[in-house]
């Protein structure tokens, strides 16, 4: 039996679909700036920090040199206020299908679990979902210096759980997140249609079956 130490979850897009709220909030700001913004472009922002996301949007509209740092801070704050308005609608019914069952099975085996989200709103989201005590550790985005695809956030989660990355599983819905998990030397589970690089992939959270995930982890050889 291969040793398994811990499981680390992404938040937005895995535990709940706040990814859509981020999309709506960025779209509003982009429209105010006259910059085109659609779901396809939004894919590039998943797992990317607030300021890095703003830079990508401005770059896409060729407005990267138009604003001072202070103006950019104000724009990011405006997007966040809109996002927080949308979060008021969030409740326990918005936990994605299969997630509560998966968490219960993992915990039933005595394995620790953590959240690795670069969102500064992660605690608010977990509280809205009634999940604030469900995880053994939630990485504080404010203390993480690098956005995904840097592995820092996943490695921090493993370290805080006393887990070795090579004996840990990460679950993500974004390409940047999968890249971060792999850069950290962990086993990557992808949720979504086009997640190149995932070691095991399903289309939706409803298909996250703990028995199958463990089997894929057991059979995985990093060198292959």
Residues marked active site are found at: 10, 12
Smaller CB separation from ligand B16, 3 or 56: 56
Q: Find which of Mg ion, ligand B16, none residue 161 binds, CB within 5 to 8 Å per kind.
A: none
Smaller CB separation from ligand B16, 64 or 219: 64
Q: Does 49 bind ligand B16 (CB under 6 A)?
A: yes
Contact 68, 75 (CB under 8 A): no
Smaller CB separation from ligand B16, 171 or 202: 171
* Min dist. Cβ of residue 96 to ligand B16 (A): 13
Half-sphere exposure of residue 110, counting CA atoms within 13 Å on the CB side? 1
Q: Does 121 bind ligand B16 (CB under 6 A)?
A: yes
Smaller CB separation from ligand B16, 47 or 151: 47
Q: Find which of Mg ion, ligand B16, none residue 60 binds, CB within 5 to 8 Å per kind.
A: none
Calculated CA dihedral for residues 218, 166, 50, 98, nearest 10 degrees? 20
Burial pattern 124-138, b for ≥16 Cβ within 10 A else e, equals bbbebbebeebbbbb
Q: Specify the residue for token string 């996301």.
A: 53
Q: Determine the straight-line distance between the first and last CA of the chain, rounded to whole angstroms.
A: 19
- Within 2-21, which residues bind Mg ion (CB under 5 A)? 10, 12-13
* Min dist. Cβ of residue 50 to ligand B16 (A): 4
Distances (CA, A) of 87 to 54, 79, 139, 186: 20, 12, 20, 31
Among 30, 138, 161, 174, binds Mg ion (CB under 5 A): 174
- Within 71-90, which residues bind ligand B16 (CB under 6 A)? 80
Token readout for 87 is 């979060």
Binding part of the chain for Mg ion, among 58-66, 92-100, 128-136, 172-180 by CB under 5 A, reads: 172-180
Contact 220, 198 (CB under 8 A): no
Q: What residues line the site for Mg ion (CB under 5 A)? A: 10, 12-13, 173-174
């Amino acid at each position: 039996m291969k040793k398994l130490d811990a499981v680390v979850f992404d938040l937005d897009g895995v535990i709940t679909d706040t990814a859509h709220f981020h999309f709506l909030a960025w779209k509003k700001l982009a429209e105010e700036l006259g910059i085109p913004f659609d779901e396809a472009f939004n894919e590039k922002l998943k797992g990317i920090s607030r300021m890095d996301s703003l830079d990508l949007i401005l770059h896409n509209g060729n407005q990267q040199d138009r604003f001072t740092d202070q103006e950019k801070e104000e724009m990011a704050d405006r997007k966040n206020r809109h996002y927080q308005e949308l979060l008021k609608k969030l409740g326990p019914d918005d936990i994605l299908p299969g997630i509560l069952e998966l968490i219960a099975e993992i915990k039933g085996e005595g394995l620790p679990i953590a959240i690795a989200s670069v969102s500064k709103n992660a605690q608010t989201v977990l509280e809205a979902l009634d999940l604030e005590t469900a995880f053994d550790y939630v990485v504080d985005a404010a203390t993480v210096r690098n956005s995904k695809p840097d592995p820092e956030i996943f490695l921090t989660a493993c370290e805080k759980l006393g887990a070795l990355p090579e004996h840990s599983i990460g679950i993500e819905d974004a390409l940047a997140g999968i890249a971060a998990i792999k850069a950290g030397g962990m086993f990557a589970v992808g949720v979504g249609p086009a997640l190149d690089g995932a070691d095991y992939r399903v289309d939706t959270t409803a298909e996250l079956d703990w028995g199958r995930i463990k089997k894929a982890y057991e059979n995985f050889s990093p060198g292959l």
